[in-house]
DNA sequence: GTCGCACTGTCCACATTATGGGCAATTAGT
DNA sequence: ACTAATTGCCCATAATGTGGACAGTGCGAC
C-alpha cells in the first residue's frame, strides 16, 4: 500500500481490486465492492470493465465477478520459468520419501511467501493446502525459515513493518518471542512451527540460499501432530541435507 | 487489442506487457522489450516497476524479468472458484477410466480457451504442465467443440475476427473448410481434431452447455495416433455421455 | 398491473496522472 | 582507464483517469 511507484496508480488500483476479488469467499457484486473498497462507482465500474476485458475476471449471470481463466494461463508461465522449482523437485521427493510427510516449496512474494510446489504425503491423512497458497512470514515453517536466513538488518526492517496477525491460537504474535525463536532456529539450522499456521499441523522449515547466502526460497515438512515422531532428527536431518544440497549448487 | 475499454489504457498496456513477458521463451531484459514492444523507454521502465512492485514479475540478477509468484497465488483463486471444474471432475475421471486416455477441460478466455483441468492415467493431478495452457479456437478439440456449440451469428462473428494461424502442418487454415468441419461436427455430436494442434495427437471434443444451450466449457480426449482404436465410438460414446450429463445439471 | 426501490450502467468537465524527450548513472568490454 | 552500451531518472506537457450527478434496468410488494 505504502510502496507507491510513481506513475502506476491506476494499475495498482486495478490489481488491488483483482486481489480483493480473488480473496473473497464468494463472488462479489458491484455493490459489495462499493462497500468494501474505497472507490467511487464510476471508477469501480471502469476498473472492473478493464479487468474483464483482459479476462482477469469474468462476470457471472447474477452480475457478480470472479477470477478469470487467464490468471491460470499466466500462472503457468510463472511455474514454468521457476528454475528453483525445477531444480528442487527431485530433492523434495527424496525428503518426502525419507520422512513420509508432505513437503512444500515456497518463494517470497510481497510480505509473505507463496507455495510453488508440493510433494504429497503418501499417508491417507494429508493437509489440504495447495500450490499457490499465500502464507505469512511469522506463522509458517517456510516463513520463519526465510526470516531466519536474513541478515539482522533485513530482519529488523521486516519485523518493523509487518503486523503479526494471529492465524491460529498458537500463532506467535509477540515480536520479542518471534525474534527469540528465530535466534534459536539459526543455531540449530532449522525452524519449528508449532501449529502456528494450522491447528494440528507442525512444520519443520529451512531456507535455500543463493551464492551470496541470501534466501531465495524455503522448504518445509508438514506433519500432523498425532503422527509426529519423538525423534525429530528424523525430519530435520533430511531437511538440512536437502537445503544444503540445493544451496550449494546455486549458480 | 481492438476492444479498448475507455479509461483503462495504462492498465491494458501493463497487462499486455505482462503477457508478453510470460510468452517469452527466456526472461527478456529492458532492451529486449524496447525492441519488441512499442513503448518508449521511460514508459516501459515505469510499467515494469509497477508490475514488479505488485509481485507480478520479478527482476533477476542479470536485470531480466520473469513472471512472479503472485500470479500463482491469483490463479489458485481462479481454480478454486471454478464451479464447472468442481462439477466436472468426477465425470472426467469416468471418461478417462472408460477410454484410458488423457481428458482435458477448457473454458473460453480471450480469443481461445484455457485448460483448467486435466485427468491423466496414473498421474498425480496438480497444477502442472498443461493446466493453464492457452489453445486457439480453430486448432484444438476443445476449441472447435466450443465453436460448434455457438449460434450461427456468434460463429460468423468470431470467424471474421480470428486469424487461422497454422500450428501444425495439419491445422485447418481455410475458413471455408473449418466451417464445413463444424457443420459436420454439429450433426454427429462431437468434433474431431486430426493433429491440428499437436502432430501425432488426435482429439475428440464436445462442449458443455448451460441452461440456455450456450457453451460454457469444453472437454476433449487426447489420443496418440499410434494408439488410436479403429472403432472411434469407443471414445465418442463416453464423451457424449459425459457432456450430456454435465450439460443437464447446469444450474 | 404499476408502483417503488435498489441495483447496474453512463456522461462529461476537471485536474490528477501517465507520457516521452532528453540526460545522468551504471555496468560491461577492451 | 577509456569507450560503448546499457539501465535508471527528471520534468514540462497533455492526455488520461477521475467522480459528481444522472439515466436505465430488473425485481418484489401491494
The Cα–Cα gap between B242 and B205 comes to 11
A66 lies in the same domain as A115: no
Of the candidates A49, A80, A82, the beta carbon closest to that of B5 is on: A49
- The pLDDT, as a whole number, for residue B120 is 82
Domain boundary among B73, B93, B111: B73
Which of B103, B77, B101, B129 is closest to B243 using CA atoms? B103
B228 contacts B201 by C-beta, under 8 angstroms = no
Please report how many Cα atoms fall inside a 13 Å half-sphere around the Cα of residue B91, on the Cβ side: 23
Burial string for B43-57 (b: 16+ CB within 10 Å, else e) reads: ebebbbbbbebbbbb
pLDDT (tens digit, 9 = 90+) per residue, B191-233? 999 999 999 999 999 999 988 888 999 999 999 888 899 999 9
pLDDT (tens digit, 9 = 90+) per residue, B145-188? 999 999 998 999 899 888 899 999 999 999 999 999 999 999 99
B87 lies in the same domain as B37: no
Can you give the distance from the CA of residue B189 to the C1' of nucleotide D16 in angstroms? 49
Residue B181 grid cell: 468441419
A vs B: CB pairs below 8 A: 174
Query: Closest CA to C11 C1' — which residue?
Result: A42
The CATH number of residue A102's host domain is 3.30.450.40
Question: What range defines the domain where residue A117 resides?
Answer: 82-248
Torsion (CA) B185, B188, B194, B200 in degrees, nearest 10: 140
The CATH number of residue B13's host domain is 1.10.10.10
Per the domain annotation, does B4 fall within a domain? no
A44 lies in the same domain as A167: no
A59 lies in the same domain as A164: no
- The pLDDT, as a whole number, for residue A1 is 41
- The pLDDT, as a whole number, for residue B211 is 82
Domains of chain B: total:
2
A134 lies in the same domain as A220: yes
Q: Is the CB of A9 under 7 A from strand D?
A: yes
Using a CB-CB cut-off of 8 Å, the residues of chain B touching A108 are 69
Can you give the distance from the CA of residue A39 to the C1' of nucleotide C14 in angstroms? 18
Amino acid at each position: 500500500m505504502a510502496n507507491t511507484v510513481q506513475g502506476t496508480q491506476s494499475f495498482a488500483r486495478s490489481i488491488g481490486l483483482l486481489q480483493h476479488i480473488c480473496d473473497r469467499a464468494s463472488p462479489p457484486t458491484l455493490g459489495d465492492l462499493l462497500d468494501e473498497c474505497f472507490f467511487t462507482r464510476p471508477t469501480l465500474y471502469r476498473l472492473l470493465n478493464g479487468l474483464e476485458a483482459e479476462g482477469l475476471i469474468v462476470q457471472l449471470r447474477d452480475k457478480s465477478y470472479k477470477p478469470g481463466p487467464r490468471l491460470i494461463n499466466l500462472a503457468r508461465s510463472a511455474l514454468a520459468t521457476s528454475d528453483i522449482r525445477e531444480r528442487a523437485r527431485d530433492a523434495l521427493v527424496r525428503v518426502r520419501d525419507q520422512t513420509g510427510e508432505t513437503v512444500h516449496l515456497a518463494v517470497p512474494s510481497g510480505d509473505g511467501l507463496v507455495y510453488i510446489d508440493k510433494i504429497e504425503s503418501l499417508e491417507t491423512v494429508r493437509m489440504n493446502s495447495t500450490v499457490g497458497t499465500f502464507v505469512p512470514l511469522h506463522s509458517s515453517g517456510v516463513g520463519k525459515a526465510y526470516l531466519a536466513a536474513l541478515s539482522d538488518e533485513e530482519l529488523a526492517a521486516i519485523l518493523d513493518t509487518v503486523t503479526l496477525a494471529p492465524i491460529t491460537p498458537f500463532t506467535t504474535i509477540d515480536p520479542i518471542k518471534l525474534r527469540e525463536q528465530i535466534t534459536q532456529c539459526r543455531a540449530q539450522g532449522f525452524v519449528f512451527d508449532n501449529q502456528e499456521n494450522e491447528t494440528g499441523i507442525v512444520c519443520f522449515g529451512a531456507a535455500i540460499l543463493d551464492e551470496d547466502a541470501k534466501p531465495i526460497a524455503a522448504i518445509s515438512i508438514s506433519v500432523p501432530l498425532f503422527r509426529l515422531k519423538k525423534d525429530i532428527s528424523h525430519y530435520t536431518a533430511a531437511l538440512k541435507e536437502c537445503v544444503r544440497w540445493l544451496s550449494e549448487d546455486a549458480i
